[in-house]
Structure 1
Amino acid sequence: MEEEDVAPAEVEEREEEREEVLIQPIASAAIDLAAGARYRATGKRKTAIARVTLRPGSGTYLVNGRTLEEHFPRNTLQRNIRQPLETVGYHERMDVVARLHGGGISAQAGALRHGVSRALLEADPNLRGELKRRGFLTRDSRAKERKKAGLKKARKRPQFSKR
């Protein structure tokens, strides 16, 4: 019985240690951002394009003139977009201004995340290793497959009739 009581406590301690490691910003020796600095980049996902500008500030997001919460109501998309800045510890030091067009809401979120990551790289090239390792700099090249002749859609075939 005692072993069962001890094991969950050890597991909880390990989980807390893992969470602490994930939360710690990698840019502890962060660069000093110039007051008037602007870092621009473009991010893409499917047919969505995000033109992103990072500037020193308090961590606000302005997407097509609206707040992040207004433009992306789903929490999963908001969390996905905030990941690059939170990973490097700049989430309270930089404002994000973005112009998005094309694609759907999920593709726009992916494009914005890609754009923020690339703009971060403009601000601090030393972050490349960590951003690349976490997959933030990789352009997701998956796109809709084209329709083929003789098929109803990209892969859907017409109904087969033996006779």
Structure 2
Amino acid sequence: MSDTETVQSLSDLKDLGEVAAVETSEETFTPVVSNAPLREQQLDAYGRAYATGRRKDAVARVWVKPGTGKFIINGRDQEVYFARPTLRLVINQPFQVAGRDGAYDVIATVKGGGLSGQAGAVKHGIAQALAKYEPALRASVKAAGFLTRDPRVVERKKYGRAKARRSFQFSKR
């Protein structure tokens, strides 16, 4: 049937609905799903993944490689460098979220900031390096918010102020 005959034969909206249902049922849509990761694995000559992590004023250079779960930070063990258990908990979070506890060795050098900022920088670097070593883990690490750099830094001191915003004490007399 030609288009003009189809238009002439349709007298009702009911007929139009039936024709539309027949036309859409004839077409079948098959989505193409790819199992390949969106990114490639990025390793150096020694088989390690490298990333830089930042938090406040701290900058951490982190290398991740398969191993037994040993952490070396600035040439010292993690229990020595990060003495507080909460800081050790922070740097282990990316592995716990990814389900890779004790599967990787971490070597990190950290500069700047305090211990809390350095732990956050190491965590950020571990998450980035883990996503580079195993691109399939990127979604779970990103969903936990570990790939995003926390932009909060200390506000600078202004002139005419005691601190960044605090005024000097006012004396009426």
Shared fold (TM-score greater than 0.5)? Answer: yes
* Partner of residue 28, structure 2: none
Residue 158 (structure 2) pairs with residue 148 (structure 1): yes
Cα distance in 1 between the residues matched to 2:169 and 2:99: 55
Which structure's CA Rg is the greater one? 2
* Partner of residue 79, structure 1: 89
Query: What's the CA shift for 1:82?
Result: 0.4
Give the 4+ runs in structure 1 shifted more than 6 A: none
1:17-28 matches, within 5 Å, as none
1:8-36 Cα offsets, whole Å, 9 max, x none, are xxxxxxxxxxxxxxxxxxxxxxx9x9xx5
* Partner of residue 127, structure 2: 117
Residue 103 (structure 2) pairs with residue 93 (structure 1): yes
Uncovered stretches (5+) of structure 2, i.e. residues with no partner: 1-40
Query: What's the CA shift for 1:128?
Result: 2.1
Residue 57 (structure 2) pairs with residue 66 (structure 1): no
Uncovered stretches (5+) of structure 1, i.e. residues with no partner: 1-30
* Partner of residue 12, structure 1: none
TM-score by length of 2: 0.71
1:3-22 matches, within 5 Å, as none
Which one of the candidate residues 118, 124, 147 is aligned to 1:137? 147
Count of equivalent residues: 130
| Secondary structure of the structure 2 residue equivalent to 1:103 | coil
Q: Residue 67 of structure 2 aligns to which amino acid in structure 1?
A: G
Query: What's the CA shift for 1:38?
Result: 0.6
| Secondary structure of the structure 1 residue equivalent to 2:63 | strand
Q: Residue 45 of structure 1 aligns to which amino acid in structure 2?
A: R
Cα distance in 2 between the residues matched to 1:126 and 1:52: 19
Cα distance in 2 between the residues matched to 1:158 and 1:63: 41
CA RMSD of aligned residues (A): 1.7
Query: What's the CA shift for 1:91?
Result: 2.0
* Partner of residue 21, structure 1: none
| Secondary structure of the structure 2 residue equivalent to 1:107 | helix
TM-score by length of 1: 0.75
1:59-95 Cα offsets, whole Å, 9 max, x none, are 1001111110000000010011001012112222110
Cα distance in 2 between the residues matched to 1:37 and 1:62: 17
Query: What's the CA shift for 1:53?
Result: 0.2
Of all paired residues, the percent bearing the same amino acid is 50
1:142-162 Cα offsets, whole Å, 9 max, x none, are 111011121111011011233
